[in-house]
Amino acid sequence: MCGRFYNHVQAMHDWTSLLEDWPGDGLQSYNVAPTQSVPIITEAGVVSARWGLVPAWSKEFNSKYATHNARIETVSEKASFREAWRRGRRCLVPAGGYYEWRNEHGHKQPYVITQRDEPLVFAGLWEPWGEALSFTILTMPASASLHALHPRMPCMLEAEQARHWLAADCTDAMALAENTEVSQRCQFFKVSRAVNNARSDGATLIEPDEAD
């Protein structure tokens, strides 16, 4: 899954054409949490959207359910996500990395997962609600290299795949989202438990923490 990430990223290497308008008008944070609004990339460019997809049929711009992640295996069936999937409302969610937690020594130990020298880009879906936008991050079974942290991981795209993701049909989009090559290049390490508090922020949150 992906319940927290950081999005302090720079336009670099093959991502320049996608990230040239970054960061848009949304929040940049080392501790992005669900319900916050951050920049995402749609076919229209960089826009700000609330993390946690709110279906167009919802009576309020919120959700009583956790909609910040959507399983790729069931995204075409779940009521909250199927309309966005069917209509091709796909987005890219650039991130420097994301966090996962593991129970160690009686407490929840956070780890950060990153790709060296390049941002991660998650496959997502967006939905309009009035003049506002919201989005979800698609997840899939974790690759062998990341399964020790959590049984699921975000769907992560290569640069060329990301360009196709926005305009692909449902069949091709499914194949793109199920790629695991990016995860095999990821690294992870312990970070400070300060990240456990969603109000915490700052570059120190992604520094390695070897304390027991």
What are the angstrom distances between the C-alpha of 136 and each of 12, 20, 116, 123, 153?
25, 22, 25, 9, 13
**What are the DSSP calls for 163-199, one per residue?**
HHHTT--HHHHHHHHT--HHHHTEEEEE--GGGGSTT
Does the pLDDT value for residue 10 go beyond 80? Answer: no
Q: Report pLDDT for 25.
A: 65
Instruction: Return the pLDDT at 212.
Output: 54
Q: Is the pLDDT of residue 150 over 90?
A: yes
Residue 44's CB: how many other CB atoms inside 10 A? 8
Token pair of 117 as six digits: 């020298």
All domains of the chain, ordered by start, with CATH?
5-206 (3.90.1680.10)
Model pTM greater than 0.85? Answer: yes
Query: What pLDDT is recorded for position 1?
Result: 73
Count, residues in the chain:
212
Mean pLDDT for the chain overall? 91
Sign of the torsion angle spanned by Cα atoms 37, 39, 42, 43: positive
Q: Looking at residues 5-13, what average pLDDT do you find? A: 79
E strands, the chain, in order: 5-6, 37-42, 45-51, 69-71, 90-95, 97-104, 107-115, 120-129, 132-141, 152-154, 186-190
